[in-house]
């Protein structure tokens, strides 16, 4: 090949005889930021004006083809040239252009392929249009060109699921034309030669027509109205694809562009992009980046739901597990639960069926704690009792090899006290998993006073290995998540005591975006758990605190613990769920006892009070340093507590309300209950100086 001409820092051209290669080199994922867009546009224009070239192949340097538009540019003033204009220029090119895609061709990356005149995939390629996960739609021709190449059902599936489609499936669907092996540059040379010789067929996607499929469009639109009523982008995607069937490409692209800009302006887009970067930023702290200790074998103490879930998670990540229980019956139950979990993973396609037996073979059940002598990490997952835990850690201290890490899965107990039961507190930390532990992605990495830096780094490395979102938390009752939950959970109870029904509270919060309201969640988790906690804390409860557990206690006294007993706030009969009428009676009696005259709350009142309570405690968690940054709190609530992802997390949502308004609300509510409603200092300062939680994230 000839010399390389740099069009700019990120785009280069190589010409050899009658073929040319354009290389995109913008690590780490070749996102189409301004310089890439400009460079691509200029490269194609330059090759056209210079003449002599019969075919162009565009490929990406590094580990992947283009993974999409540069998400960091979203929300800022757009810088020309716009991506659709660049791709229209490529599609209009008189010289045929072939896209050579490897790694993950996503969003604007796959759309570059769709605008080219032929698409060659390299083995291992996955293509996707994941914009919907960012509150967007494919905005550089995806909704218009993909239906022309692959038909409407496939385009609907790709745009609405955002899934990464394997190359073979893309080939069969007509979304790519060839699948080859080799290095991107070598494949690019061959493809350009073939295109020049006419042995690789090239054509403009805009010249193809779409086969109409009104049924598929209507069915999908109807389903989305039911399942994704609160989201904006999915419905717009259907409209865009519908337009593709009815108009020439240029008009469809215009429609898509306008819909894309509408999505860009929604708070949902901002919330979802906060979630995208937040998920990555949680481990972007010095403590997570230090050297980790090697973990080749894990010991788990306790074969209950949590211990079995943690064991399953480790096994699925290829980590051998030694499971310890005190009695054979418990051990058998643990093994049975893990086996069921692994079978479930096979059913859900998370584990290939032929790996099932080998995965289970990595599980070694044992009744002897001494068998933990050779493991690198122990996770204790027994019930929440400080006496039991300290006894276990004292024993572990005598059994575990030097350098082994000892972790507790406690959800609120003092990890410093647990660590003090050993002679090596530097090796102790909290690893707080969420149930079901092999499904839920959150892992709170609880750092105690004496936890060694490499032990913290190992916690983060483990989270990554288990494909979890590891968030650093400090020691306090409930760490980040359960501390905040215990505060806003009280507000749900106060709302009911003061006049709302549990169903109204649930419906209002489901309308806000939670998959389930707090009373349904309570029924699912088991009302006896909260009951036990309230009893445990009865002796230390602040006398100024308004008691929130009166109704829930009465329900539990009846033996109604929620779903597992068929009755709780609701009655469960098969698929039928209806409010428990006896709960309405209990609520009335408790109101009478407390001298409360019930009042009306609108759904908005309920959301405002519940969210303000959540934000208040979340702000205090940041203020106390239990969470290092607001984004850490947001990711805990998103990945562990069902907070609606499109709202970004409680503190991202708080910024959309503004600190001044939040302070005003708290001060208003405080007139009724000055103990519960206190303005966090951090929020007052923010209201005074006009700053946001996002500013704090940026400064961290």
**Would you please indicate which residues are annotated as catalytic (active-site) residues?**
111, 131
Strands lying side by side in the sheet with 469-473? 363-366, 321-324, 298-301, 377-380, 405-408, 428-433, 442-446, 469-473
Q: How far is the CB of 107 from ligand 3HC (least distance, A)?
A: 3
CB atoms within 10 A of CB 218: 12
Instruction: Pull the structure tokens for residue 12.
Output: 């280069």
* Tokens 């082994």, located at residue: 404
How is 443-504 classified by DSSP, letter by letter?
A: EEEEPPTT--HHHHHHHHHHHHHTT-EEEEE-SSTTTTHHHHHHHHHHHHHHHHHHT--HHH
Alpha carbon distance 433, 436 (integer Å): 8
**For residue 118, what are the β-bridge partners?**
98
**For residue 127, what are the β-bridge partners?**
105, 165
Q: How far is the CB of 229 from ligand 3HC (least distance, A)?
A: 23
The answer to whether 619 and 683 are in contact (CB under 8 A) is yes
**Helix axes of 108-115 and 142-150: crossing angle, nearest 10 degrees:** 60
**Helix (H) or strand (E) segment spanning residue 357:** helix 356-361
Closest alpha carbon to 99 in 7, 202, 18: 202
Q: How far is the CB of 68 from ligand 3HC (least distance, A)?
A: 3
The answer to whether 404 and 434 are in contact (CB under 8 A) is no
* Tokens 């350009």, located at residue: 192
Rg (CA), the chain: 28
Q: How far is the CB of 159 from ligand 3HC (least distance, A)?
A: 10
The answer to whether 534 and 508 are in contact (CB under 8 A) is no
Instruction: Pull the structure tokens for residue 420.
Output: 């003090």
Nearest CB to ligand 3HC, comparing residues 255 and 677:
255
Alpha carbon distance 679, 664 (integer Å): 9
Q: How far is the CB of 93 from ligand 3HC (least distance, A)?
A: 20
Alpha carbon distance 632, 479 (integer Å): 12
Nearest CB to ligand 3HC, comparing residues 143 and 337:
143
Nearest CB to ligand 3HC, comparing residues 13 and 112:
112
* Tokens 């070749």, located at residue: 30
Instruction: Pull the structure tokens for residue 255.
Output: 């429609």
Q: How far is the CB of 71 from ligand 3HC (least distance, A)?
A: 4
Dihedral Cα 86, 89, 95, 99, nearest 10 deg:
30
Closest alpha carbon to 141 in 282, 241, 52: 241
Q: How far is the CB of 477 from ligand 3HC (least distance, A)?
A: 32
Instruction: Pull the structure tokens for residue 570.
Output: 């609701």
Nearest CB to ligand 3HC, comparing residues 68 and 530:
68
Q: Is 553 exposed, middle or buried (0-12, 13-18, 19+ CB in 10 A)?
A: middle
**For residue 126, what are the β-bridge partners?**
104, 166
Q: How far is the CB of 64 from ligand 3HC (least distance, A)?
A: 6
Alpha carbon distance 655, 650 (integer Å): 9
Nearest CB to ligand 3HC, comparing residues 62 and 658:
62
Nearest CB to ligand 3HC, comparing residues 131 and 697:
131
Nearest CB to ligand 3HC, comparing residues 108 and 252:
108
Alpha carbon distance 582, 659 (integer Å): 41
The binding site for ligand 3HC (CB under 6 A) comprises 28-29, 31, 67-72, 83, 104, 106-108, 111, 130-131, 134, 136, 138-140, 142, 280
Indicate the SS3 state at residue 82. coil
Q: How far is the CB of 481 from ligand 3HC (least distance, A)?
A: 23
Q: How far is the CB of 282 from ligand 3HC (least distance, A)?
A: 10
Alpha carbon distance 387, 159 (integer Å): 53
Nearest CB to ligand 3HC, comparing residues 106 and 173:
106
* Tokens 């100086």, located at residue: 689
478: left (phi over 0), alpha (psi -120 to 50) or beta: left
**Helix (H) or strand (E) segment spanning residue 408:** strand 405-408
Q: How far is the CB of 619 from ligand 3HC (least distance, A)?
A: 26
- Integer distance in angstroms from the first to the last C-alpha of the chain? 48
Alpha carbon distance 675, 685 (integer Å): 20
């Amino acid at each position: 090949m000839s010399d390389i001409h740099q069009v700019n820092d990120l785009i280069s051209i190589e010409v050899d005889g009658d073929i040319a290669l354009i290389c995109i080199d913008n690590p780490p994922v070749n996102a189409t930021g301004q310089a890439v867009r400009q460079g691509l546009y200029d490269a194609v224009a330059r090759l056209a004006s210079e003449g002599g070239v019969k075919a162009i192949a565009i490929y990406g340097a590094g580990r992947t083809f283009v993974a999409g538009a540069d998400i960091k540019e979203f929300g800022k003033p757009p810088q020309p040239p716009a991506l659709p204009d660049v791709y229209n220029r490529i599609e209009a090119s008189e010289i045929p252009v072939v896209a050579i895609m490897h790694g993950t061709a996503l969003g604007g990356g796959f759309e570059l392929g769709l605008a080219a005149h032929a698409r060659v995939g390299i083995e291992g390629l996955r293509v996707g249009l994941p914009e919907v996960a960012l509150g967007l739609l494919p905005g550089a021709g995806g909704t218009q060109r993909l239906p022309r190449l692959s038909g409407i059902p496939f385009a609907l599936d790709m745009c609405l699921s955002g899934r990464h489609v394997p190359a073979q499936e893309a080939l069969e669907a007509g979304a790519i034309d060839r699948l080859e092996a080799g290095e991107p540059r070598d494949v690019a040379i061959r493809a350009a030669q073939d295109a020049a010789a006419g042995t690789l067929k090239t054509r403009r996607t805009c010249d193809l027509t779409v086969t109409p499929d009104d049924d598929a469009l209507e069915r999908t639109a109807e389903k989305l109205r039911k399942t994704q009523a609160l989201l904006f982008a999915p419905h717009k995607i259907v409209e865009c694809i519908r337009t593709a069937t009815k108009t020439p490409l240029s008009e469809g692209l215009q429609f898509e562009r306008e819909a894309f800009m509408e999505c860009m302006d929604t708070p949902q887009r901002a919330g979802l992009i906060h979630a995208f970067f937040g998920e990555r930023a949680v481990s972007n702290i010095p403590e997570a980046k230090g050297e980790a200790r090697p973990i080749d074998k894990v010991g788990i103490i306790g074969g209950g739901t949590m211990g079995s879930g943690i064991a399953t998670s480790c096994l699925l990540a290829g980590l051998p597990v030694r499971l310890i229980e005190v009695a054979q019956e418990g051990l058998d139950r643990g093994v049975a639960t893990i086996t069921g979990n692994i079978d479930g993973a096979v059913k859900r396609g998370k584990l290939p069926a032929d790996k099932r037996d080998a995965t289970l073979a990595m599980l070694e059940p044992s009744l002897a704690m001494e068998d933990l002598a050779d493991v690198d990490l122990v996770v204790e997952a027994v019930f929440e009792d400080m006496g039991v835990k300290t006894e276990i850690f004292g024993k572990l201290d005598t059994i575990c090899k030097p350098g082994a890490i000892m972790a507790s899965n406690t959800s609120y107990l003092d990890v410093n006290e647990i660590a003090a039961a050993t002679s090596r507190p530097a090796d102790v930390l909290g690893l707080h998993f969420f149930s079901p532990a092999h499904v839920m992605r959150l892992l709170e990495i609880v750092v105690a006073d004496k936890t060694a830096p490499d032990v913290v780094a190992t916690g983060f490395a483990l989270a990554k290995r288990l494909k979890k979102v590891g968030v650093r938390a400090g020691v306090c009752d409930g760490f980040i998540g359960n501390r905040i939950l215990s505060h806003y959970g009280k507000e749900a109870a106060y709302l009911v005591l003061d006049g709302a029904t549990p169903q109204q509270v649930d419906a209002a919060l489901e309308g806000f975006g939670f998959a389930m309201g707090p009373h349904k969640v309570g029924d699912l988790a088991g009302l006896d758990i909260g009951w036990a906690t309230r009893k445990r804390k009865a002796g230390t409860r602040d006398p100024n605190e308004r008691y929130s557990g009166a109704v829930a206690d009465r329900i539990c006294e009846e033996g109604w613990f929620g779903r597992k007993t068929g009755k709780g706030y609701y009655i469960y009969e098969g698929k039928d769920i209806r409010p428990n009428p006896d709960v309405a009676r209990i609520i009335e009696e408790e109101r009478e006892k407390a001298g409360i005259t019930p009042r009306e709350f609108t759904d908005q009142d309920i959301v405002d009070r519940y969210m303000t309570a959540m934000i208040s405690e979340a702000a205090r968690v940041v203020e106390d340093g239990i969470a290092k940054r607001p984004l850490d709190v947001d990711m805990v609530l998103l990945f562990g507590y069902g907070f609606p992802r499109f709202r970004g997390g409680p503190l991202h949502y708080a910024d959309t309300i503004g600190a001044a308004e939040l302070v005003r609300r708290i001060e208003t509510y405080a007139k009724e209950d000055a103990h519960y409603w206190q303005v966090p200092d951090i929020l007052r300062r923010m209201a005074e100086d006009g700053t946001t939680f996002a500013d704090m994230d940026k400064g961290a």
